[in-house]
């Protein structure tokens, strides 16, 4: 029943009630009642104005039109997609870190040495709107390295390709000593060494923000540091790599490996396989899908096909002077 109908009923009821009251009064009183006023038409108060009918506001059968909001703009989220010479990445405007980076390395690409890291410099990504951009000053004296998600060493086949890896949109805050300059660097080297066995290796890398149980109340919380003044860039709790080692054959087998490492100091003697996880675990934690179009029958477990272990190299010493500039 519409509000207009209810208003009419209320008005009629009010008029009928007035007449009934007058009739009751006439029965109880000995005084003559002036029937002139009773026989006269009873004035009916006009109904109070109701809401404007929806048909006068929207065309067709719509009652509301929330999509008209988008005339003012689309809120997002927007994933800034960047296609570089050596990789593709998706940027998270909220955390100021990548959602993911995808790279491709081959024996041929790694055999070339046309890029010199000393000629590359860290730069802010001006393709990202300024208010969503990670800044050089955010990392200044933060205690964290500007950690490449796609390593510079994977793009040494071209100076331009190497320079692309130095955009801050390819960086995340990483613990320096014991991780970025040590175990993580050894892990990146492991990925490159896979090209000795596989003609094509594709690597997806990105940050994670995983919950941790609080010993005080035994509840799980997601907690991470922010760097910058004011706080601007989120410090991931963990990092993942999903590795696709291809055998080079058409519709051939793909050795698939998923790893999650904490953003913390890791002893160099820690077995890499301790960080191997099911692919689905990375997908649940990241909200991403990596291999839903890769048939199960083509999948092989990477660490069952090859030796998943790191070789300890003295990256920290080589980058000591470089690290002081972080």
The residues assigned a catalytic role are 148
Contact 68, 143 (CB under 8 A): no
Residue from 171, 205, 211, 208 nearest 290 by CA: 205
Contact 145, 180 (CB under 8 A): yes
List the beta bridge partners of residue 239: 207, 261
Count CA atoms within 13 Å of residue 165 on its CB side: 25
Question: Which tokens belong to 290?
Answer: 């990596």
Other Cβ atoms less than 10 A from the Cβ of 165: the count is: 27
- Whole-angstrom distance, CA of residue 224 vs CA of residue 212: 10
- Whole-angstrom distance, CA of residue 52 vs CA of residue 305: 70
Strands (E), the chain: 79-83, 87-92, 97-105, 145-148, 171-174, 200-208, 211-213, 220-222, 226-227, 233-234, 238-246, 254-262, 299-301
List the beta bridge partners of residue 261: 239
Phi-psi region of 73 (alpha: psi -120 to 50; beta: other; left: phi over 0): left
DSSP 3-state of 243:
strand
DSSP 3-state of 36:
helix
**Sign of the Cα pseudo-torsion (197, 198, 203, 209, in order):** negative
């Amino acid at each position: 029943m519409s509000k207009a109908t209810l208003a009419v009923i209320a008005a009629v009821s009010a008029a009928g009630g007035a007449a009934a009251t007058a009739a009751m009064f006439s029965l109880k009183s000995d005084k003559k009642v002036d029937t002139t006023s009773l026989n006269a038409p009873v004035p009916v108060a006009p109904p109070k104005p109701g809401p404007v009918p929806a048909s006068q506001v929207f065309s067709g059968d719509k009652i509301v039109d929330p999509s008209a909001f988008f005339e003012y703009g689309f809120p997002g989220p927007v994933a800034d997609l960047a296609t570089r010479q050596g990789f593709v990445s998706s940027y998270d405007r909220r955390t100021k870190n990548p959602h993911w980076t995808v790279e491709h390395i081959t024996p041929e690409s790694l055999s070339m040495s046309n890029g010199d890291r000393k000629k590359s410099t860290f730069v802010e990504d001006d393709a990202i709107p300024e208010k969503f951009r990670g800044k050089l000053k955010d990392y200044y004296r933060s205690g964290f390295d500007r950690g490449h998600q796609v390593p510079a060493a994977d793009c040494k086949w071209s100076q331009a390709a190497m320079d692309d890896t130095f955009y801050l949109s390819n960086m995340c805050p990483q613990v320096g000593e014991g991780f970025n300059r040590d175990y993580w660097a050894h892990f990146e080297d492991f990925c490159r060494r896979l090209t000795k066995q596989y003609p094509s290796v594709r690597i997806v890398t990105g940050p994670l923000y995983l919950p941790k149980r609080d010993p005080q109340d035994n509840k799980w919380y997601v907690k991470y540091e922010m760097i910058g003044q004011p706080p601007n860039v989120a410090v991931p709790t963990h990092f993942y790599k999903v590795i696709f080692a291809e055998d080079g054959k058409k519709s051939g087998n793909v050795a698939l490996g998923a790893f999650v490492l904490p953003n913390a100091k890791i002893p160099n003697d820690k077995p890499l396989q301790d960080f191997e996880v099911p692919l689905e675990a990375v997908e649940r934690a990241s909200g991403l899908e990596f291999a839903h179009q890769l048939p199960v029958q083509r999948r092989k477990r990477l660490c069952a096909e090859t030796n998943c272990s790191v070789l300890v190299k003295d990256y920290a010493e080589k980058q000591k002077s470089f690290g002081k500039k972080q």
